[in-house]
Amino acid sequence: EIVLTQSPGTLSLSPGERATLSCRASQSVSSSYLVWYQQKPGQAPRLLTYGASNRATGIPDRFSGSGSGTDFSLTISRLEPEDFAVYYCHQYVSLPWTFGQGTKVAIK
């Protein structure tokens, strides 16, 4: 099983600041099968990026994904009030599919 470890657990930042979230895999993951989700309280997860670096439809360009092999990251260039949420990485190249434990981006 591929374990995805996200860091930090919580990121406390102010609106306008830059956020960098990390997702480290226990084995190499093809970037084509690594995605990032955003989840707000009481809502379903929303796809942000796929193929490690492609933005999903309707996702603002302040969100960007990068990485390869075992190290991936999600960057939010300038935090907007609506970006404070929990973020998950997810791999679907190797069964069982797995999610990271999540990073909460909180208002400082």
- Decide: is 47 part of the binding site for another protein (CB under 8 A): yes
Q: Which helix (H) or strand (E) holds 66?
A: strand 63-76
Among 11, 38, 50, 85, binds another protein (CB under 8 A): 50
- Told to check if 53 binds another protein by CB under 8 A, we report no
Nearest residue to 9 (alpha-carbon basis) of 86, 97, 107, 81: 86
Q: Are 105 and 88 in contact (CB under 8 A)?
A: no
Single-letter amino acid code for the residue at 107:
I
Give yes or no for residue 10 binding another protein (CB under 8 A): no
Give contact residues for another protein (rule: CB under 8 A). Answer: 37, 39, 44-47, 50, 56-57, 88, 90, 92, 95-102
